[in-house]
Structure 1
Amino acid sequence: MRRRRGVLLTAALLAQIAAGPSHAAPAVPAGWEPAGQCGVVRSGDAPLGGAEVTLYQAGEGEGGRPRVLAWARSAGDGRFSLDYRRPRDPRAVLYVLADLGGPRGDHGSGGRSGPEGAGGPVTLAAVLSGAAAPPELVVNERTTVAAAYALARFTGPAGVAGSSPGLPNAAAVAHNLADTGTGGVAPLLAAPPNGELTSTMAEFNTLANLLASCVSGDSCDRLLDLARRPGHPRPRDTLLAAVDIAHDPGHNAAALFALAGTTARYRPALPAAPDAWTVALRYEGNGHELDGPGNIAFDADGNAWASNNYRYGPDPAVPVCGGDAVLKFTPTGQDAPGAPYRGGGLYGAGFGVTVDAKDTAWVANFGFQGRGCPVDPAPLERSVSRFAPDGAPLSPPRGWRGAGIVQPQGMAADRSGTVWVANCGSDSVARIPDGDAASAREIATPGLHKPFGAAVDPAGRLWVSGNGSDSVQVVGPDGALERTVTGAGLRRPLGLATDSRGNAWVSNSGILPVPCGDSTAGDLADALAGEDGPRPGTSVTMIGADGTPAPEPFTNGGLFLPWGVAVDGDDTVWVANFGGHRVARLCGVNPAACPPGTRTGEPISPPGTGYTSDGLERNTGVQIDPSGNVWLVNNWRTVPVQANPGGHELVVLVGAAAPVTTPRLGGGGRP
């Protein structure tokens, strides 16, 4: 991120600095719209004078170079003014860096003369794009933490760079954390379902205090040493230190907390050290639509489509019937235009939702409903629904039927346009070639009982878990049965995902029976009785692309009741848990992307706890978006009442994973 003469500063800018203090914008292509931005650099309420403030446009694509748009120096009261020409691209990402020469106790107007004096450890940041520019931009420790986490997967020593939609979506998420107009906590983070209902706001403030300990004291070396990721260079400033913490949030967590306690500038703060510095945001859409979200699938623009078990009801004691809407959220957690969407045969969707190669969304109508709902679900649990990108139903009023579809659960789509459905109630899968339901056919899977999770690998093969048979079935792109895998720790398997090399990663719940066929949601609830720790059989099984499983399943890292699985752009494995308020992160088949010495299958998240959050409840689906955010669904409440056991939020770990290309059409890989 640190600027270097001859690399990021243009010759025109240096010439302007040498000519006088006007700080006019450097030369940029003619025809761009003139713009101006006033702002102030602060640490808490104290102004920071003498800061070198630079406005950048992020680089395009991986390895792209940021462009300097304007430069100024903050006055004694911390204020500055930037005159520049706005880029033509409305999705261009703009950000501001405020550099100081080192620890500053007086926050006065002293400083260095121009960018050539840069080199101290204090760099504060704020994202200018992604939301309406405020009349006055505040740059402080809170805006720095927001920029570091939201842009964590696009930020390096050379600056911020990346491709669309991941980078602009990430910039927009920064405004869910910090309010750049006030320097305070953003409204979304400050209010329910966040605010005082979870510890995230206090954690966010504690991270800001951690950076403030360097700005106002002599703890910079300590901060940079503690934040340094194993196997990586020492970060050279506060911004890059926060980025390193976002990448490896479990590293030195307790020591960083102790350091943050030396500067209590922002309140409320955490009373005790977290197990990891993951920043978990809850999204609830319009506040009265999510009830038992089951899973998520992302479209090409990074919008999240979510299945919904039940019709929304705020009272868990009042029976609810099956959900009759599919939910679509923008990358920042708001309802997409017109959402939620209804019709097309929707009823009680479960774990099955996918987005195909044409960017249309498919939902499996399992027939979920709360105990006491008077509706007979039998006629409604035998279809799948399809929706256009704008939410218009493309399936008939009773959904697409046939092809053995009974209590459908997991769904997957491949690059050719084929959509697959795991038929939990008929021990088969449905193959829908090119999304043409009229050509769909049933494929019996004798090696599976209660097919549940589904994923496509890079070769176009389908992998399906059998929750009732402790097995996994591999199906060729043409529907031919290829292999049935048993043993290797497979025990009540649920979700699964494939990586960029064609390996499958399968979650083993150990005890959880999916409620299809002769099992009910009540049986699932009964299996949770006496829950006080990980159950026997809890693990993750890796199966090679050739169908050969690893000799032993993987455990630890926070595995409690594993359900959903996702693989990020570094082939790192993320596992949602139906208990324990945690998500696990395991090293995948690319150990080079893991902490030094970590082998495939070993935990990256803290052993024994994983990444915990009081914003999480009982999670089923987990998915990664193009910005590197990890999305989970609060499917059930912690104490589920069967009349309406549904949870009411999506939970997003900001910047925690390597970005992926969406929609997911087989395997992993970066955008």
Structure 2
Amino acid sequence: MRRRRSLLPLAATLLALTVTTTWTASADHVPGTGPDVQQGVVRSGDTPIGAAEVTLYRAGDRPGAPAEALARGRTDGAGRFHLGYHRPADPRAVLYLFAERGRGGPVGLAAVLGSAREHAGVAAVNAARVDEVVVNERTTVAAAYALARFAGPGGISGGYPGLQNAAAISHNLADVADGGVARVLATAPNGAETSTLPAFNTLADILAGCVDGQTCAELFRLAGQPGQPEPANTFEAAVAIAHGPGEHVGELFALAAVRSLYRPALPAAPDAWTLALRYTGNGHEINGPGNIAFDADGNAWVTNNYQYAADPRTSVCGSRSVLRLSPTGEDVPGAPYRGGGLYGAGYGITLDPKGDVWVGNFGFQGSGCPLDPSRLYRSVSQFGPDGAAKSPAEGWRSGGIVQPQGTVSDRDGSIWIADCGGRSVTVLPHGDPQAARRIAPPDGALVKPFDLVVDGNGQVWVTGNGSDSVLQLSPEGEPVRTVTGGGIRNPLGVATDSRGNAWVANSGVVPLPCEDGTPTGLADAVRDVTQRVPGASVTVVGPDGTTPDQPFVNDGLFLPWGIAVDGDDTVWVANFGGHRVARLCGTRLSACPPGHRTGQPISPPDTGYTFDGLSRNTAVQIDPSGNVWLANNWQTVPLQTNPGGRELVVFVGLAAPVCAPLIGPPQQP
């Protein structure tokens, strides 16, 4: 049998804990006793699973820390269990259940109970306090996907906030109180509006065949990843699928028919076994989300192009608010925030080392808005960590800011701004608007600057959408070189990796609506695009400005716009068309599937990771739990009176986590 390396050795770890009877436990109590009680039932569909060994664990509180077994019991003939334990005093402690039928056997089911912590003033889903829980295939899939990135030799473990947020997000998929579908997944803008609900149920059915004793060998063979040992049980198989969602898709789909328990289910195999959720905040605020930045608690700060109006025929002016959503998609109390000169923010948003938030006011507005945007698109806005505006009512206007787009902080707290309408970059040294300085390279070297990023050496890379170029600046703001060639064509987003490389998303066709450009011109340029345009690609620029002879291309790169690098240095690309996100192998080949080269697609090369809940995406960003966030910026067929998209889309557990806030290159938590 071909050996495969496991992506998540959790099942083997749990087996070791239960077989050796050497429990990791606090000195002041014995596992299985205590004043707190956790009850529940283990089922497969509606069928109880008797004589199952159920263990309650506390996850390790830092990467690699061993999980602590708090209690163990066995289910009765009705599948019920009753566990006494001592509840951890730490409100951030994450608890989870693991049930196996026969020690070391192929059946392993899990449920995440969560934590009792307060998240940025919002009580997180406190499933740890649910007295009665159900452990079944649905809760297992939810646990496997949400916690896919938190495992090691000692079991589930991770630091704050990634682990806690992942636990809460699992409850957006499955309801552990009854083993059913969670409200977020079951209702709009998810539910019947996207394919995620039937995909989730189909994954549960794939596990059910093995739980019934029929398909385990085939499931483990198909779920296993190249170079890793095959999964040991159903939970580990689900985690392996979450890590390699594009592998053996059709063959895994066939296993779902063996024991169909959960409905609705997929009628045909998907492109990949991803699970994505759409978030809308309070339901009447998101309209044209442009970009996303995460704070130290994992909350998402989001720019918003337009005032909210549900009817696309209603003329809207620029949004005067910045959004802040919790990791589970609700408004943080007090959000959205207003003031500080906000108007029609675009792609520019960043957090500085103090936690202040900076937003570039591009001046987006729908056709028919009576306001003159030229009076409003010459500033950036500054907010404190609590959302209070720090900039004046007209925003910070120093340094010649014109139609600002990309906005980024360096580690010294200097704020760098791409002046899309000014052929320049503005820097606020140490965040001081009074010391603002305009950096203008020779005419023609930087036209329509859109995005910028700071690498590990403090150098700034700026894309020139209208000049087919990338400008490299020294940490002091002096132009170092202008990079052309290597396939750079109508570039938009730029991201840096841990090795100092700059990754550039080449749209190939998108003309930005700054200088003499208009949103109507942008819409005309992309309206009839039905397949990847010839210039759609990604270019990697080395620290010394060198580029490969040819850019990286595949059909996952449809109309590249946003780009991000995750904690494994793999590269994610959002598309302004095609309803897909692409993942590429980065320069750290050890983090890629065996045999992959830099730039080679990890997502399916013919499609990328598609999702029918995507529209026209600008930003892609990675949070501390390994979730991939995308901004549904425009409607697929936009009316220019009110073209904005209405959702953020979150692919659950698909990437390697990134520390937040992101200042400089990505770092693993």
Partner letter of residue 601 of structure 1? G
- The answer as to whether partners of 2:14 and 2:155 remain within 8 angstroms in 1 is no
Please give the secondary structure, in 2, of the residue aligned with 1:495. Answer: strand
Residue 465 (1) aligns with residue 463 (2)? yes
**Per-residue Cα deviation, 1:511-555 (whole angstroms, up to 9, x for no partner):** 000100100000000001322101120100000011111221000
- In 2: Cα distance, 1:371 partner to 1:282 partner: 27
- The answer as to whether partners of 1:559 and 1:610 remain within 8 angstroms in 2 is yes
- In 1: Cα distance, 2:493 partner to 2:646 partner: 21
- In 2: Cα distance, 1:3 partner to 1:223 partner: 17
Partner letter of residue 373 of structure 1? C
Residue 391 (1) aligns with residue 382 (2)? no
- In 2: Cα distance, 1:28 partner to 1:128 partner: 23
Q: Name the structure 2 match of 1:245.
A: 241
Residue 2 (1) aligns with residue 3 (2)? no
**Per-residue Cα deviation, 1:409-450 (whole angstroms, up to 9, x for no partner):** 001111111111000010111111111111111111332100
Q: Name the structure 1 match of 2:6.
A: none
Q: Name the structure 1 match of 2:165.
A: 169
Q: Name the structure 2 match of 1:549.
A: 547
- In 2: Cα distance, 1:203 partner to 1:420 partner: 42
- In 2: Cα distance, 1:420 partner to 1:77 partner: 62
Q: Name the structure 2 match of 1:144.
A: 140
Residue 592 (1) aligns with residue 596 (2)? no
Q: Name the structure 2 match of 1:333.
A: 329
**Per-residue Cα deviation, 1:437-474 (whole angstroms, up to 9, x for no partner):** 11111111332100001111111111110000000001
Partner letter of residue 554 of structure 2? N
Change (3 A) 1:520 1:324: same
Q: Name the structure 2 match of 1:287.
A: 283
**Per-residue Cα deviation, 1:554-588 (whole angstroms, up to 9, x for no partner):** 00050000000000000000000000000000000
- In 2: Cα distance, 1:546 partner to 1:309 partner: 36
Q: Name the structure 2 match of 1:36.
A: 37
- In 2: Cα distance, 1:291 partner to 1:215 partner: 44
Q: Which of 111, 119, 126 is 2:104 aligned to?
A: 119
Q: Name the structure 2 match of 1:566.
A: 564
The percent of aligned pairs where both chains have the same amino acid is 62
- In 1: Cα distance, 2:469 partner to 2:371 partner: 33
Please give the secondary structure, in 1, of the residue aligned with 2:86. Answer: strand
Bigger shift: residues 622-631 or 130-139 = 130-139
Partner letter of residue 390 of structure 1? D
- In 1: Cα distance, 2:306 partner to 2:93 partner: 39
- Superposed displacement of residue 298, structure 1: 0.7
Q: Name the structure 1 match of 2:619.
A: 621
What TM-score comes out, normalization by structure 1 length?
0.94
Structure 2's unaligned 5+ residue stretches are 1-9, 116-124
- Superposed displacement of residue 332, structure 1: 1.1
- In 2: Cα distance, 1:320 partner to 1:432 partner: 31
Bigger shift: residues 308-317 or 28-37 = 28-37
- The answer as to whether partners of 2:585 and 2:597 remain within 8 angstroms in 1 is yes
Q: Name the structure 2 match of 1:411.
A: 407
Q: Name the structure 2 match of 1:128.
A: 113
Q: Name the structure 1 match of 2:5.
A: none
Q: Name the structure 1 match of 2:118.
A: none
Bigger shift: residues 298-307 or 432-441 = 432-441
- Superposed displacement of residue 179, structure 1: 0.3
**Per-residue Cα deviation, 1:215-269 (whole angstroms, up to 9, x for no partner):** 0131001000000011222111111111111111101111111111221100000
- In 2: Cα distance, 1:5 partner to 1:238 partner: 13
- The answer as to whether partners of 2:37 and 2:131 remain within 8 angstroms in 1 is no
- The answer as to whether partners of 2:280 and 2:286 remain within 8 angstroms in 1 is yes
Q: Which of 256, 277, 289 is 1:260 aligned to?
A: 256
Please give the secondary structure, in 1, of the residue aligned with 2:416. Answer: strand
Give matches, 1:231-630, under 5 Å. Answer: 231-446=227-442, 447-556=445-554, 558-630=556-628
- In 1: Cα distance, 2:138 partner to 2:642 partner: 38
- In 2: Cα distance, 1:30 partner to 1:228 partner: 38
Residue 68 (1) aligns with residue 66 (2)? no
- In 2: Cα distance, 1:634 partner to 1:90 partner: 34
- In 1: Cα distance, 2:614 partner to 2:15 partner: 47
Residue 648 (1) aligns with residue 646 (2)? yes
- Superposed displacement of residue 27, structure 1: 5.5
Bigger shift: residues 59-68 or 492-501 = 59-68
Please give the secondary structure, in 1, of the residue aligned with 2:456. Answer: coil
Residue 661 (1) aligns with residue 646 (2)? no
Q: Name the structure 2 match of 1:20.
A: none
Partner letter of residue 76 of structure 1? G
Task: Extract structure 1 runs of 4+ deviating beyond 3 A.
Answer: 2-14, 25-34
Q: Name the structure 1 match of 2:4.
A: none
- In 2: Cα distance, 1:34 partner to 1:558 partner: 54
- Superposed displacement of residue 181, structure 1: 0.3
Change (3 A) 1:528 1:51: same
- In 1: Cα distance, 2:611 partner to 2:284 partner: 23
- In 1: Cα distance, 2:153 partner to 2:161 partner: 22
- Tell me how large the CA RMSD over aligned residues is: 1.7
Please give the secondary structure, in 2, of the residue aligned with 1:68. Answer: strand
- The answer as to whether partners of 1:424 and 1:450 remain within 8 angstroms in 2 is yes
Structure 1's unaligned 5+ residue stretches are 15-24, 102-117
What TM-score comes out, normalization by structure 2 length?
0.94
Change (3 A) 1:50 1:548: same
**Per-residue Cα deviation, 1:493-520 (whole angstroms, up to 9, x for no partner):** 0001000001000001000001001000
Q: Name the structure 1 match of 2:7.
A: none
Partner letter of residue 654 of structure 1? V
Residue 50 (1) aligns with residue 45 (2)? no
- In 2: Cα distance, 1:270 partner to 1:413 partner: 44
- In 1: Cα distance, 2:527 partner to 2:572 partner: 26
Bigger shift: residues 121-130 or 641-650 = 121-130
Partner letter of residue 290 of structure 1? I
- In 2: Cα distance, 1:312 partner to 1:37 partner: 44
